Amino acid sequence: MTDRKTVHTRYVIRELIRRAARYRAALNFAIAASALVALTGFATLAMLKPIVEVVFDQPRGAGNGMLDFLLAPVYQTIEYFVRWNRLGTLAVVCVLFFLISALRCLFRFTQVYVTQWIGNRVILDLQRDLYDKITGYNAAYYARRPIGGLLSYFTADIRLIGVNIFNSFSQLLLDPFQIVVLVIGLLLIHWPLTLIYALVIPLLIFTVRYFARKNRRASREAQDVVARIGAFLQDHFRLIRVVQAYGMQDAQRSVFHRETEDNFLALLRKARAVAMSSPINELIGVAAVCVILLLGGWVIFVQQSMPASDFVVFLGGLVSLYQPLRRIERTIQEMQHGFAAAERVFEAMEENAELPEPAAPVKLAGLRDAIEFDGVSFSYDGERPVLAGVSFTARRGEQVALVGPSGAGKTTLVNLIPRFYDPTSGAIRFDGVDLREMSLTGLRSLIAFVPQDQAVFAGSIWNNITCGQSDVDEDRVAEAARAAYAHEFIMDLPHGYQTVIGDEEGGALSGGQCQRVAIARAFFRDAPVLILDEATSALDSESERRIKASLEKLLRGRTAFIIAHRLSTILQADRILVMDEGRVVDSGRHLELLQRCALYQRLYRLQFEDQASAAAPS
Ligand code: ATP
């Protein structure tokens, strides 16, 4: 039902660049600032030349044309103010050095701030896009994924993208400029020596790529394990009472130990790649500098084609070049962790799991006539049928109760009405309009849904009832809560409707109170169609009585599909569908079915007779 796509690093990089390019003006600004940082960096380096000349009493301003050109204003200033007085020259150079460095710091501040701004914007967009995309996926997507795994996209993965990719972003943008400026400077000072040094660059690139690949693979494994651990813990804590009651601690602990061990091993593989890459690259770099030192000595002493002051600047350039070269390597290593996380996030965003929406949706204002199931079949996996040829019509205002043994397909059937899934064949129609011809929001605005349990969100009671709708009339909310017999207990809470469920002050609601909030939500929605999965959990008789009364009110005048667990529901239902193995085997009112349907008689005896005898006066 979904088409899972594997994304590769190249795709991830392209996609991240595309997202950063949305902020073109800021990006251009950051690029310009990076170029200025690199240029001012080289300018401070060039200041070594007059220092060496004056300190070692060398010929002044002789040698390479490029450095002379760059330093011409410096030489003029020295000539004008201090006429090569030794201390005076040093003082002039220091002042100029300080001024250029101050400019460089300003550019660097701008560069870091703007790149961080872009990075954080991209992360913000990514979080929102991921949320929008995943929330639109169909029920099949959610059925296959543990909640903890979904959460880890938003927590661990997004954090890793932020920390490992965008924290390095300013450095990554700056270092290529520094490398280019330094390489051009070095070439202009002494191109043969520069070319010899350049021979190590392919070697560096090769080792960087080799270790980066190893690192990325290990990171991806580690993140997959982290997602599995998240999913495991989510389940573990949700079901902690079951775990404790059934003494499952040891079994759970061994699963947890196994997963954390896998995580540890993946992190070790990553650590190995990181730990090996730096020393190897350092050795290559040091060997190259040694070769250049020897050759440089030969050029100065034997060939005498370069003044020593130029060679000092050249060596300073080589050392400075080594820093960004190595840093790029480290940054690339660090980014692998972020890329692995981004791979997971983009894979989640590329899942093709949305229900198709019509180009020109039909809009229905309400339900006038009937809901029709016409030969509806459904399968989750495309093989095993879960519903087979279900046909019936529910007239407007009718209450349809679904009964059947566990696994008969009752939940699946009601899930097709709000299009959590689409039928594999056949059609469901509202007033003759196939659900697939309506927009999902249009269809769902006609339906209120009261699930069995777990139906309140962490958040205020107000938001729970209004579903976050803004500009809501206070009286309407209170009226809905009154109808659900919830107003009284809500007013007794510390902050009334604004009490936050689940926080320390508001505390937790009882099972019956949660159900009443869910019923209040359905009243508030005031939709013509109601889907109700009756709670099976036993409540105390007072709570039960209130819920029963409020549901009766809620059902009045609405077309309702009820997965029935209460005797009163089947007694009042206009029609009961008896389901077995995905088929509707009989339908009718309670007494008719009790007389003619063997399965119904059996179900009645198992599920409902107890309630009948409990309700009978003793
Ligand atoms: P119960 O009364 O126990 O809730 P039910 O009548 O509501 O059962 P369904 O939940 O609709 O039955 O399940 C019908 C069949 O479909 C079952 O065999 C179940 O195993 C299968 N099924 C349910 N949900 C899924 C799913 N997400 N993926 C695959 N199979 C599923």
Task: For residues 179 and 38, give the distance between their C-alpha atoms in angstroms, rounded to a whole number.
Answer: 8
Provide φ and ψ at 156, rounded to 5°. Answer: -60, -50
Mutation to probe ligand 1, out of 380, 561, 584 (largest number of atoms < 8 A from CB): 380
- pLDDT given at position 216: 83
Q: Is 414 in the pocket of ligand 1 (CB under 6 A)?
A: no
Rg of the chain over all Cα atoms, to the nearest angstrom = 36
What is the tens place of the pLDDT at every residue in 61-101? Answer: 666 677 888 888 888 888 888 888 888 888 999 999 999 99
Start-to-end CA span in the chain (Å) = 55
Atom of ligand 1 nearest to the CA of 144: 27
Nearest CA to ligand 1 atom 17: 407
| Residue having the nearest C-alpha atom to atom 10 of ligand 1 | 411
The answer to whether the CB of 406 is under 6 A from ligand 1 is yes
pLDDT band for position 128 (cuts 50, 70, 90): very high
Say what the pLDDT of residue 206 is.
85
Closest CA to 163 of 208, 123, 195, 221: 123
**Higher-confidence position of 477 and 506:** 477
* Closest-lying ligand 1 atom to the alpha carbon of residue 413: 11
Ligand 1 pocket, 143 CB below 6 A? yes
- Ligand 1 pocket member 410 (CB < 6 A): yes
pLDDT band at 113 (very low <50, low <70, confident <90, very high): very high
Q: Does ligand 1 come within 6 angstroms of the Cβ of 584?
A: no
What band does 539 get if pLDDT is binned at 50, 70 and 90?
A: low
Q: What spacing in Å lies between the alpha carbon of 412 and ligand 1's midpoint? A: 6
Summarised one tens digit per residue, pLDDT across range 438-485 is 998 899 989 988 887 667 777 788 888 888 777 888 888 888 888 888
- Given its phi and psi angles, is residue 594 left (phi above 0), alpha (psi -120 to 50 degrees) or beta? alpha
Give the pLDDT of residue 454: 62
What integer is the mean pLDDT of 239-251? 79
Which pLDDT does position 541 carry in this prediction? 67
For the structural domain made of 11-349, what CATH number should be given? 1.20.1560.10
Strand runs labelled E in 327-468: 370-379, 385-395, 399-403, 425-430, 433-434, 447-450, 459-460
CB of 403 closer than 6 angstroms to any ligand 1 atom: no
Cβ of residue 404 lying under 6 Å from some atom of ligand 1: yes
Segment 170-179 shows an average pLDDT of 91
418 C-alpha to ligand 1 centroid (Å):
17
Q: Residue 148 CB: number of other CB atoms within 10 A? A: 21
DSSP state letter for 362? B
* Structure confidence at residue 172 as a pLDDT band (50, 70, 90): confident
Q: Which residues contact 308 (CB under 8 A, 6 or more apart)?
A: 52, 56, 58, 300
- Dihedral sign for Cα atoms in the order 344, 345, 350, 353: positive
Which pTM value belongs to this model? 0.74
Q: Which structure tokens are listed for 357?
A: 């929406």
Q: Which one, of 482, 474, 476, 477, lies nearest residue 465 by Cα?
A: 477
DSSP assignments along 585-618, one per residue: EEEE-HHHHHHH-HHHHHHIIIIIHHHHHHHS--
- Mutation pick for ligand 1 pocket among 383, 412, 420 (CB with most ligand atoms within 8 Å): 412
Looking at residue 197, its pLDDT comes to 86
CB-side neighbour CA atoms (13 Å) of 140: 19
Is the model's pLDDT at 22 over the cut of 90? yes
Pick the range with the lowest mean pLDDT from 161-175, 313-327, 490-504: 490-504
Weakest-pLDDT range from 45-54, 70-79, 388-397, 452-461: 452-461
Instruction: For residues 15 and 342, give the distance between their C-alpha atoms in angstroms, rounded to a whole number.
Output: 10
Name the average pLDDT for the chain: 86
Instruction: Retrieve residue 273's tokens.
Output: 């790649």
CB count within 10 Å of CB 504 equals: 6
pLDDT of residue 2: 41
Contact 26/375 with Cβ under 8 angstroms? no
Does ligand 1 come within 6 angstroms of the Cβ of 582? no
Q: Which residue has the tokens 């191109």?
A: 191
- Give the model's pLDDT for residue 224: 87
408 in contact with ligand 1, CB cutoff 6 A: yes
With contact defined as beta carbons under 8 Å apart, do 482 and 541 qualify? no
CATH superfamily of 364-446+530-537+563-618: P-loop containing nucleotide triphosphate hydrolases (3.40.50.300)
Ligand 1 centroid–CA 406 distance in Å is: 8
Rounded to the nearest whole angstrom, what is the distance from the C-alpha of residue 582 to the centroid of ligand 1? 10
- Tell me the domain boundaries of the chain: 11-349, 364-446+530-537+563-618
List the residue whose alpha carbon is closest to atom 18 of ligand 1. Answer: 407
What spacing in Å lies between the alpha carbon of 411 and ligand 1's midpoint?
Answer: 7
Asked if 541 and 548 touch (Cβ cutoff 8 Å), the reply is no
Over the stretch 578-597, which tens digit does the pLDDT of each residue have? 999 999 999 999 888 889 88
